[in-house]
């Protein structure tokens, strides 16, 4: 390479670096990326404590990465090039057949001690409720992820986890009456795997998947008309890879009891909120159409006037399941342990009497969750 060309390359390199630095300084800082659905590092902590604790350099790296100009476009371009070169896993997401993006789970993602501890705590609580309320009034339900239902869609050489089986065996061994209280939704959902039961770009099930789950849990009817309320949904799995996939649809079932449901959010002093939030369909995170997201506690007053009350310990999968449950209960107390600030018994005491109790969790989230202590 001649001297003139070398100088041109070096000059171009420094020009790019200088322009990027100026842009990072001059452009408005972004606090949140809708594209990645996460909070961004928007400032640098120059404090002495951060330097002493070794956090300063990490903070600077995160800031530069998060505030880099055209970051979203750069990430997309990088992943597209890697895909063309044969890569099929990006940031913990497999690019699978039929336009599915599937979260990858490996045995190393889970600790046996955590799995065993969570199973023990959940089983103890289910047994306690069963003893006092009757075992036919309590259900512990586990939800498989897409990687279980669509294992044959995965790319060649994809690595999967066997920890789900260990978790379920451990849970069953600690339940007093597992035949009455435990429901594994895997078989019920696999029967319908050729239908649109999980979002292609998001980790949740669709409303149809939730409908089949409701049917398996309660035996209730799902014979309702439905309507597509959004057809441009790109979910959390897409946010991690920025690779093209077919957009998802958000479907609403026209369940009269759900349409007339009013929701109280005690921690925010809000009452009479709707179950469905139309404004969410204008945002990137369209799954928040159901209940407007996750809260430590929600109290639902449904259109069903039968005097029955359900306590539901849940994760975000239940947000699209609860419209069906609204047809069976007049009152539903939903508790999300990930946001809880007190034990479940405290919430129950405030509510008073109840008729049925359910714990419904995604399998992988159940195995990794660190909030089961709130059940004790």
Number of H helices, E strands in the chain: 15, 15
Query: Residue 97: which residues within 8 A CB-CB, separation 6 or more?
Result: 153, 154
Identify the residue with better confidence: 83 or 313. Answer: 313
pLDDT at 55: 64
For the residues of 217-228, what is the DSSP string, one character each? HH-------EEE
Give dist(CA 303, CA 239) in Å, integer.
36
pLDDT at 88: 78
* Of the listed ranges 30-39, 245-254, 346-355, the one predicted with least confidence: 30-39
Give dist(CA 190, CA 342) in Å, integer.
37
β-pair partners for 313: 335, 359
- Asked if pLDDT for residue 25 goes beyond 60, the answer is no
CB 204 within 8 A of CB 320: yes
CB 365 within 8 A of CB 236: no
Measure the N-to-C terminal CA separation of the chain; round to a whole number of Å: 71
> Across all residues in the chain, what is the average pLDDT?
86
Helix runs in 55-181, H state only: 56-66, 71-84, 112-133, 146-149, 163-174, 178-181
Q: For the residues 137-156, what does the mean pLDDT come to?
A: 96
pLDDT at 22: 56
Q: For the residues 213-219, what does the mean pLDDT come to?
A: 98
List pLDDT tens digits, range 221-233.
999 999 999 999 9
Nearest to 336 by CA among 304, 270, 291: 291
List pLDDT tens digits, range 273-311.
999 999 999 998 999 999 999 999 999 999 999 999 999
Q: Tally Cβ neighbours within 10 Å of residue 67.
A: 21
Percent of the chain with pLDDT over 90: 66
pLDDT at 240: 87
pLDDT at 48: 57
């Amino acid at each position: 390479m001649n001297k003139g060309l070398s100088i041109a390359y070096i000059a171009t390199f420094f020009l790019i670096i200088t322009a990027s630095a100026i842009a990072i300084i001059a452009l408005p800082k972004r606090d949140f990326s809708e594209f990645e659905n996460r909070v961004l590092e928007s400032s640098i902590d120059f404090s002495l404590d951060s330097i002493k604790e070794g956090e300063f350099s990490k903070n600077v790296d995160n800031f530069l990465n998060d505030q880099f100009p055209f970051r979203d476009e750069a990430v997309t371009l990088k992943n597209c090039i890697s895909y063309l070169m044969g890569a099929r896993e990006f940031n913990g997401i497999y690019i699978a057949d039929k336009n599915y993006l599937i979260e990858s789970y490996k045995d190393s993602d889970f600790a046996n001690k955590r799995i065993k501890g969570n199973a023990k705590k959940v089983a103890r609580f289910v047994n306690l409720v069963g003893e006092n309320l009757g075992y036919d009034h309590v259900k512990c339900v586990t939800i498989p992820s897409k990687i279980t239902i669509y294992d044959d869609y995965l790319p060649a050489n994809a690595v999967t986890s066997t920890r789900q089986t260990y978790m379920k065996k451990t849970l069953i061994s600690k339940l007093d009456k597992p035949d009455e209280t435990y429901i594994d939704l895997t078989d019920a959902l696999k029967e319908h795997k050729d239908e649109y039961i999980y979002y292609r770009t998001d980790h949740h099930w669709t409303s149809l998947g939730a409908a089949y789950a409701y049917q398996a849990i309660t035996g209730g009817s799902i014979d309702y008309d439905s309507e597509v309320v959004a057809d441009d949904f790109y979910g959390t799995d897409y946010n991690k890879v920025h690779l093209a996939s077919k957009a998802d649809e958000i479907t609403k079932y026209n369940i009269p009891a759900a349409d007339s449901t009013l929701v109280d959010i005690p921690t925010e002093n809000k009452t009479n909120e709707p179950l469905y939030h139309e404004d969410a369909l204008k945002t990137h995170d369209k799954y928040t159409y159901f209940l407007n997201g996750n809260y430590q506690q929600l109290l639902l007053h449904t259109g069903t006037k039968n005097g029955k009350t359900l306590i539901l310990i849940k994760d975000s999968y239940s947000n699209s399941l609860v419209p069906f449950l609204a047809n069976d209960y007049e009152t539903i107390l939903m508790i999300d342990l990930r946001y809880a600030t007190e034990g479940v018994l405290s919430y129950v005491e405030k509510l008073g009497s109840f008729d049925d109790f359910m714990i419904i969790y995604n399998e992988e989230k159940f195995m990794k969750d660190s909030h089961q202590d709130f059940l004790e």
